[in-house]
């Protein structure tokens, strides 16, 4: 299976499950909605930690560290996952040009 096919299948499953959940399930109680609203930050932190430690135990590239710091700063300021990801990508791009 090609990479593009795999990404498209993952996107269809992700979007399909979210649309189905919105259409079929009732809204969650307030307490559960608060927990679900905070899930993107820990998930992003887990992904960032995974990318900061290489598979061979070596340290990360400097551009990845800059990306993680930019994403962390954005996440502390804005609760939007899109802004956090954009800040990380922007930090990575800028650091790649400079370093």
Confidence band, pLDDT 50/70/90 cuts, at residue 64: confident
Dump pLDDT digits (tens) for 6-59.
Answer: 889 998 998 888 888 888 888 878 888 777 777 776 676 677 677 777 667 677
Question: What whole-number distance in Å separates Cα of residue 9 and Cα of residue 48?
Answer: 24
Question: What whole-number distance in Å separates Cα of residue 50 and Cα of residue 72?
Answer: 15
Question: What whole-number distance in Å separates Cα of residue 60 and Cα of residue 51?
Answer: 8
């Amino acid at each position: 299976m090609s990479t593009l096919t795999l990404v498209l299948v993952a996107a269809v499953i992700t979007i399909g499950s979210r649309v189905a959940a919105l259409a079929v399930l009732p809204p969650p109680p307030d307490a559960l909605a608060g927990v679900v609203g905070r899930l993107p930050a820990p998930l992003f932190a887990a992904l960032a930690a995974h990318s900061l430690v290489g598979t061979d135990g070596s340290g990360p590239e400097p551009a990845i560290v800059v990306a993680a710091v930019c994403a962390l700063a954005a996440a502390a300021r804005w609760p939007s996952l899109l802004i956090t990801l954009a800040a990380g990508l922007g930090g990575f791009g800028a650091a790649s040009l400079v370093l």
